[in-house]
């Protein structure tokens, strides 16, 4: 079976674990560092995000709370920022940076950002592909049906495409946040936002690299078994 006691697969697992661990550690340490620095704007993350939304044509977007730490996200389905308690009510540079990053996604929606539209359109396809590809893959591998294995790889490839499309979406949202803070905040806000959001972006880069590596492995193993 694919991956069973395969040295290449074990290396891929180790690579994924190490890369994921390093990026998560980096973003947490960077966030913790700037969560101790007060924003020069003197407002909470929710307040600053609200002003950014209103000034960039996304005034219809709502802002709510979500549990957990660094669980902040923008949901285009309800056009609402969901900020963790710390970033909603906190006034640190880190809180403001994360809140403005999520506001950047809402601004993308308001302005019809192309990559954001593509990403949203891919969501139902990717959800289906992610829930079915592994079943199809193992069924094909166990029954020796190359066609099913290839179909599974195609389904998995949608996840890779989704990861690649996500990169410009996240980078653009961070760019919008940093630009807003540079224009409206102080130098410390711009500096901190760049560091916090760069660290966050690395998690998406790492996820894309892992997905590409997995796809390359699956394709290589499929070719070798034909």
Catalytic residues: 102
The CA-to-CA distance between both ends of the chain, in Å, stands at 13
Sign of the dihedral through C-alpha 10, 211, 17, 144: negative
Sign of the dihedral through C-alpha 66, 68, 72, 76: negative
C-alpha pair distances (Å), 224 with each of 4, 9, 125, 221: 15, 14, 29, 5
Residue where the block lists tokens 């939304």: 53
C-alpha pair distances (Å), 123 with each of 76, 131, 154: 11, 12, 16
DSSP annotation of 194 reads H
């Amino acid at each position: 079976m694919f991956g069973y006691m395969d040295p290449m697969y074990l290396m891929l697992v180790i690579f994924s674990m190490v890369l994921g661990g390093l990026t998560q550690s980096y973003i947490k340490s960077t966030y913790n560092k700037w969560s101790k620095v007060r924003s020069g704007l003197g407002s909470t993350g929710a307040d600053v995000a609200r002003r950014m939304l209103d000034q960039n044509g996304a005034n219809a977007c709502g802002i709510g709370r979500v549990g957990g730490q660094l669980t902040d996200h923008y949901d285009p389905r309800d056009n609402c920022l969901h900020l963790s308690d710390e970033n909603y009510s906190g006034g640190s540079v880190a809180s403001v940076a994360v809140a403005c990053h999520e506001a950047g996604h809402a601004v993308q929606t308001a302005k019809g950002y192309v990559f954001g539209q593509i990403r949203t359109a891919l969501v139902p396809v990717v959800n289906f592909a992610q829930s079915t590809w592994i079943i199809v893959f193992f069924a094909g591998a166990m029954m020796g049906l190359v066609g099913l294995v290839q179909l599974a790889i195609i389904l998995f490839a949608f996840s890779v495409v989704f990861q690649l499309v996500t990169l410009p979406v996240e980078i653009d949202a961070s760019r919008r946040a940093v630009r807003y803070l540079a224009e409206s905040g102080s130098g410390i806000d711009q500096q901190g936002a760049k560091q916090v959001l760069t660290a966050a972006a690395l998690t998406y880069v790492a996820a894309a690299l892992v997905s590409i590596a997995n796809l390359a492995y699956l394709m290589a193993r499929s070719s070798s078994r034909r």
